[in-house]
Amino acid sequence: MNAIIASALLGVLMMFASWIFDNEKTHTRIALVGLLALIVANVLQLNGIYSIPLDTKGMLSFTQFGLYVNTIIFILTFLYVWLNGDEIAKIGNHAADFYALFFFILCGASILTSFNNLLMLFIGIEILSIPLYILTGSDKKNLNSNEAALKYFLMGSFSTGIFLLGITFIYGATGTFQITSPVLNPATGMVREQLMQSAGLILIFVSFNFKVSAAPFHFWTPDVYDGAPTVFTSFMATIVKATAIIAFVVLFHSQFKALGYAWELLLTFVLIATLFVGNITAVFQRSVKRMLAYSSIAQVGFMLFALYGATSFATEGILLYIMSYSLASIGLFGVLIKMKEYSFEAFNGLAKKEPLLAGMTTVFLLSLAGIPLTGGFFAKYYMLNAAVQSGTGLWLVVVAILFAAVSVYYYFKLIQAMYFAEGEPAIYEVAQGYKYKLLVFAVLILGLGILPNVFLSYLYF
Amino acid sequence: MVLLSILSIPFIAAILLLFVKHDEKANYVAIAASGITMALSLNIACNGAANFDTSWMLSLNARFTLTADGLSKILMLLTCISFPAIFIASAKNEIKNRNQFLSLMLFTQTGLLGVFLAGDALLFYFFWELALIPVYFLCSIWGGEKRVAVTFKFFIYTFLGSLFMLIGIILVYTHTADQSFAIQSFKQATLTFGQQLTAFALFFTAFAIKMPIFPLHTWQPDAYEQSPTPVTMVLSAVMVKMGIYGVIRWLMPLFPAAFSAHSNFVVILSVIGILYASFIAIRQDDMKRLIAYSSIAHIGLMSAALFANNEIGTQGVLIQLFSHGVNVLGLWIIADIIEQQTGTRSLKEMGGLAKQNPTLGILLVGFAFANIALPLTNAFVGEFLMFNSLFQFNPWIAAAAGVSVVLAAIYTLNMVQKCAYGEVSEKMNKMQAPNVPAQFVLIVLFIVVILSGVYPAPLFDLTADTLQQLFIK
């Protein structure tokens, strides 16, 4: 509860900040302090010290898992703003407005990690999505940005409609929005209601696939990620996507797990399609930004493995996955922002000119590719383990690793450009402080790769 | 604790080297670090058992366990002898950014030692991948003309293989009684025959790519040719042994039923590979490619003898793991000296090495004899045992594999003839004063070749415990 209320209040506060203070640097500082306050508020509840007493009539439930996810997401956002503050200030007129939007997104995220009721889920998703449409279009004079925002908005609204329809069906069948109330059992329930319930669940499934950009509902992703200002792409592709995935996993690990017969076959199809489309298309990209957009689709393919088993491997794994994936992607986008152009050739010879920057980019890429010693390895490891343990066909895991090998191809293309190609990299001057900030990301990724325990043990205390 | 220091000394030296910009000092650091590791490994090999165990990842129940039994020791010894030898032999080579090069080499050594010493499946996988990353950079930065594409092929091949192994590890892990990655628990895992077959296939793919077994060998000749020669030495003397090590360490004890079910299939593949590689080697003009194909043939024989699944063959392989490493290292060092001084690898352009540099000529002949496993050389001991086991397995297969001995004699002696004898060619005329440190290394290696050929008993003693575990329950 703390996080939801605090983030909403902070969002309003941020809007007034631009009115009071004129300096953009100050806005960033206020946002950072606000985020810290948000983290503290959430940790207070996580440790059971204090939480705002408010009866939600069982519509929200605050679990250890959900609150821990909140903490991770807030810390990631903090790191993101800390790294990208200057870049955010360059876009639009008032950085504070964007920060306000961030806080609203975090409010939606906090609802998504604690919903117990389909309506709350719907509200959470909407609070999360609407600020994103604005962020996408925030580069007002850029046609691509405008197009992306419109596209995102239209497609997003459409998927929202589907989501609502799904909820309606389920309500019609069961008479409740609560996800904890028992579902209609195929053995006892009536046939028509069962069908309605399954249809509703499938509609929700489809809509969620749209939100997390899983194929074949991914078509908006490359255009939106490419058109949006790079700093905001970084935010959307990581923190927002991570939250949506968590909500997805929580919902389908609930009572609806029992309806697996209705959606697990679909999931298998979506998973393979996502891995296929994401990886194969990424191979052919010439722009690093678009490559990252497709790679983010491909990574979703791996995250979806968490839906299979409701084991501790699946929940721990998805946490590790969002941590390592978000850190690596924010880092990579952080490097990308400093490039004059986004082609692979622009990175030629970067290792000679900026050895530290190239080294850190390599760590980010290795993590995305899932090479040991980086967080990405354990993330993938847990996902595969969850799938093997749940007993879903081993062949699916084999397919997944074949695509993981494909992903090595495009991630290493960038490493090859940086280290083995001659040329002058098209990069702006990078301040020393910025590099050290990126170094924090790289160190965190290596930390996740060597001692993932440290990050996961929190779940059990 | 000794095992941990063997692992950490090269690692620390590798980090240190990044800050040593001076070439000569970098050489000293690398040679000193690898020398100390060699001394430590000799100490462990002589003094019996050593273990190290500490918790690593609690929630996964994976431990940081290092163990050294006979199999581990013999490969640890090979690794720890190879690296100082390579560093000394290549001390005079021209290498850009030498400190980075040496640093990556030492990282490779850490990875390799980790693979050979790990007593925990996840740790094994961890090091298995780690050994690959520095090699990728070494080959892609310092290699030949086509280096980037060739190294990438090599990388993707082995990476895919190791991912398959990872699934295999997960599969066995889920069937262990105590949900642990320790090798003891893995051995006691209850797998049905079907599960054994699946897990066997997953593990085997990784090892077969690494060894490599025909038809998965296509990455190897290119990678050997394009890598800078010191890296080629690591690849062929030590790194290919990872595959064979994996078979002995994991496949044989974990999936005995699946292992014997597949032995016919793999033995036949291996023999095809031996003959295929031998015939190609005969046609090679490039010295590096010739040695590469000859190495494929030798490894093929080792895998055939392993999958014959009898005690003699495994004993032969355990000895040959070490012998082949030493022999091929000697050949590569000679090839490297010739290339560095004359600028060619083509046998057509060579001739008269014995006149220009008699010592090197004699050493070439000596290592060539070891390569065809003449009696008195170390390879004879191992190959004799291996052929013996193949004969027990199936006389026809032994006969087919036996042809490779004749073929090996043809290509090796052909190489010696073209390189060492005849008129002094134009290129060979460029041979300058002998490369003293490299020749010193060669002489030491040659003494090892003869010593272990005449008196192999210490090697048998060293590996006795592994053999006992595998064949006497």
Contact B174 A389 (CB under 8 A): yes
3-state SS assignment for residue A115: strand
- What's the pLDDT score for residue A159? 92
User: Which residues in chain A are contacts of B198 at CB distance < 8 A?
Assistant: 394
Q: Is residue B413 part of a domain?
A: yes
- What's the pLDDT score for residue A274? 93
**Residue B53, class by beta-carbon neighbours within 10 Å (0-12 exposed, 13-18 middle, 19+ buried)?**
middle
User: Which residues in chain B are contacts of A404 at CB distance < 8 A?
Assistant: 163
How far apart are the CA of B42 and the nearest CA of chain A, in angstroms? 29
Contact B155 A316 (CB under 8 A): no
What ipTM was assigned to the predicted interfaces of this complex?
Answer: 0.82
Average pLDDT, integer, range B322-348 = 87
Sequence-separated (6 or more) residues with CB below 8 Å from residue A376: A324, A325, A328, A366, A367, A368, A369, A370, A445, A449
- What's the pLDDT score for residue B58? 65
Q: Is residue B320 part of a domain?
A: yes
Nearest to B159 among A405, A420, A456 (CB): A405
Contact B170 A385 (CB under 8 A): yes
Number of domains in chain B: 1
Contact B125 A420 (CB under 8 A): no
Question: Using one digit for the tens of pLDDT, what is the confidence trace for B338-392?
Answer: 888 888 888 888 878 888 888 888 888 889 988 888 888 888 888 888 988 888 8
Per-residue pLDDT band at B473 (split at 50, 70, 90): low
d(CA A244, CA A160): 14
**Residue B264, class by beta-carbon neighbours within 10 Å (0-12 exposed, 13-18 middle, 19+ buried)?**
middle
Contact A384 B166 (CB under 8 A): yes
Question: Using one digit for the tens of pLDDT, what is the confidence trace for A381-409?
Answer: 888 888 888 776 778 888 888 898 899 88
Question: Using one digit for the tens of pLDDT, what is the confidence trace for A300-317?
Answer: 999 988 888 767 778 888
Q: Is residue B231 part of a domain?
A: no
Q: Is residue B16 part of a domain?
A: no
Q: Structure tokens of A284?
A: 């052919």
- What's the pLDDT score for residue A190? 67
Residue A71's closest CA among A456, A436, A397?
A456
Average pLDDT, integer, range B253-267 = 87
- What's the pLDDT score for residue A461? 54
Contact A453 B57 (CB under 8 A): yes
Nearest to B130 among A373, A405, A416 (CB): A373
Contact B166 A451 (CB under 8 A): no
Rounded to the nearest angstrom, the gap between the alpha carbon of residue A9 and the centroid of all alpha carbons in its chain is 23
pLDDT of residue B171 exceeding 70, the answer is yes
Residue of A nearest to B158 (CA): A405
Nearest to A409 among B129, B156, B174 (CB): B156
Q: Is residue B235 part of a domain?
A: no
Taking the CB of residue A151, how many other CB atoms lie within 10 A of it?
17
Q: Structure tokens of A401?
A: 């690793």
Mutate to test the interface with B, among A312, A371, A380 (most CBs of B within 10 A): A371
CB contacts < 8 A (A, B): 67
- What's the pLDDT score for residue B16? 87
Q: What are phi and psi of B118, to 5 degrees?
A: -65, 135
Taking the CB of residue B311, how many other CB atoms lie within 10 A of it?
15
- What's the pLDDT score for residue B456? 86
Task: Give residue B272's domain range.
Answer: 265-473
Task: Decide if A381 touches B, using CB distance below 8 A.
Answer: yes
Of the listed ranges B25-29, B82-86, B244-248, the one predicted with least confidence: B25-29
Per-residue pLDDT band at B50 (split at 50, 70, 90): confident
d(CA A139, CA A183): 46
Q: Which residues of chain A have pLDDT under 70?
A: 184-190, 310, 392, 458-461
Q: Is residue B425 part of a domain?
A: yes
Nearest to B133 among A371, A404, A420 (CB): A371
d(CA A406, CA A426): 27
Quote the mean pLDDT of chain B: 86
- What's the pLDDT score for residue A310? 67
How far apart are the CA of A405 and the nearest CA of chain B, in angstroms? 6
d(CA A282, CA A291): 5
d(CA B470, CA A49): 58
Average pLDDT, integer, range B230-238 = 88
